[in-house]
């Protein structure tokens, strides 16, 4: 398909290569806006966006807020701790009230998989999933893909290793869907408890030794252990995890000179990645954050029917 027809962005598993291409092309058009003195275009003037984050966030919430402001939308932020969810109001009632307040776009982060999908079938407002439990984090998958495309060219055939807690990672799932759809060779790396073989059904390879992928990877994406979603211990201890799966300085020395080192943040320095590696020349971690602005501008513009693209 060559045109965007969706009012919501719920999951990258819903999108085909054409739709991913539309978002990535639109993001490229918006990236230049952030490099201007006047970082604003009128594309969503008159629209109201509500950022509704029921789980903590630094990057995603701020990025959606700045992206919406750059598109000239009005933005309201709601934190769960200061909302009537605390008094027992349901997610559905909260969202219906936001719609009654004439919100055009609701950006939702929630601990339950499917929360954004639940709202999308009940509300006329655009619903953008900013992370739902361990299910998906579509704009993170898009900004990661955009960064790889920007730094390394076409995704087709690139060898991408995603390392760490895949089982509980919504970032991993969104990356897998986008990268496999666009033709990357994706390898998941981690302990068998956190990277079970059943992930191979998504069109990826599963390995349990980081040392086996270091020399061949074009991109290595390190993920945080999601302690907040784990109900039991999945490995004996952090020391053992670092010794087997941490991207230490010694392991980084074995990566190709042009290998991109990525992390969605927040980083646990000294666990999944050493400080010197995270801050080193091959790290694109902060580029990912900057690219999140252009990607989120593109998503908001497309879903909310924004007018005009920057020239
Ligand atoms: N990458 C990411 O989602 O970061 P935040 O939790 O800070 O939004």
Phi/psi class of residue 125: alpha, beta or left (left: φ > 0; alpha: ψ in -120 to 50)? beta
Residues 237-253 pLDDT 10s: 788 999 999 999 999 99
More confidently predicted of 42 and 228: 42
Q: Which atom of ligand 1 is nearest to the CA of 137?
A: 3
Mutating to test ligand 1, I would choose from 57, 174, 223 the residue with most ligand atoms within 8 A of its C-beta, which is: 57
In a shared domain, residues 213 and 283? yes
User: Closest Cα partner for 117 from 90, 99, 102, 135?
Assistant: 135
In this structure, are 125 and 173 located in the same domain? no
How confident is the model over 100-155, as pLDDT tens digits?
A: 999 999 999 999 999 999 999 999 999 999 999 999 999 999 999 999 999 999 99
Q: How far is the CA of 59 from the centre of ligand 1 (A)?
A: 5
Q: Which domain holds residue 73?
A: 12-135+292-303
Rounded Cα distance between 157 and 272, Å, is 26
pLDDT on residue 156: 98
Q: What is the CATH number of the domain that holds 78?
A: 3.40.50.1370
pTM: 0.95
On whether both 281 and 190 belong to a single domain, the answer is yes
Q: Which two tokens stand for residue 98?
A: 């936001």
Whether 6 maps to a domain, the answer reads no
Closest-CA residue, ligand 1 atom 6, reads: 57
Q: pLDDT-derived band of residue 7, with 50, 70 and 90 as boundaries?
A: very high
Give the count of domains, the chain.
2
| Whether the CB of 62 sits within 6 Å of ligand 1 | no
CA gap 105, 51 in Å, rounded: 8
Same domain for 215 and 112?
no
Residue 109 Cα: closest atom of ligand 1: 8
């Amino acid at each position: 398909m060559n045109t965007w027809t969706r009012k919501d962005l719920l999951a990258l598993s819903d999108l085909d290569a054409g739709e991913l291409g539309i978002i990535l092309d639109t993001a490229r058009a918006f990236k230049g806006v952030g490099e201007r003195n006047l970082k604003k275009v009128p594309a969503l003037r008159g629209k109201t966006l509500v950022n509704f984050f029921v789980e903590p966030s630094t990057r995603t919430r701020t990025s959606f807020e700045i992206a919406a402001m750059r598109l000239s939308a009005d933005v309201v932020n709601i934190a769960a701790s200061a909302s009537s969810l605390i008094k027992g109001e349901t997610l559905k009632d909260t969202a219906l009230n936001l719609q009654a307040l004439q919100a055009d776009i609701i950006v939702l982060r929630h601990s339950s998989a499917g929360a954004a999908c639940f709202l999308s079938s009940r509300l006329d407002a655009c619903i953008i999933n900013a992370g739902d439990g361990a299910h998906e984090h579509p704009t993170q998958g898009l900004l990661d893909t955009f960064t790889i495309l920007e730094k390394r060219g076409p995704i087709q055939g690139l060898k991408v290793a995603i390392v760490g807690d895949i089982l509980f990672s919504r970032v991993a799932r969104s990356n897998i869907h986008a990268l496999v759809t666009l033709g990357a060779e994706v390898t998941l790396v981690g302990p068998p408890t956190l990277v079970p073989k059943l992930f191979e059904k998504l069109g990826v390879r599963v390995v349990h030794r980081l040392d086996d992928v270091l020399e061949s990877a074009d991109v290595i994406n390190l993920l945080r252990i999601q302690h907040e979603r784990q109900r039991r211990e999945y490995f004996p201890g952090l020391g053992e995890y670092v010794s087997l799966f941490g991207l230490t300085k010694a392991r980084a020395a074995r990566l190709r000179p042009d290998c991109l080192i990525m992390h969605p943040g927040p980083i646990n320095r000294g666990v999944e990645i050493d400080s010197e590696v995270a801050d080193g020349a091959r790290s694109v971690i902060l580029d990912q954050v900057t690219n999140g602005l252009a990607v989120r501008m593109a998503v908001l513009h497309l879903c909310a029917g924004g007018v005009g693209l920057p020239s």
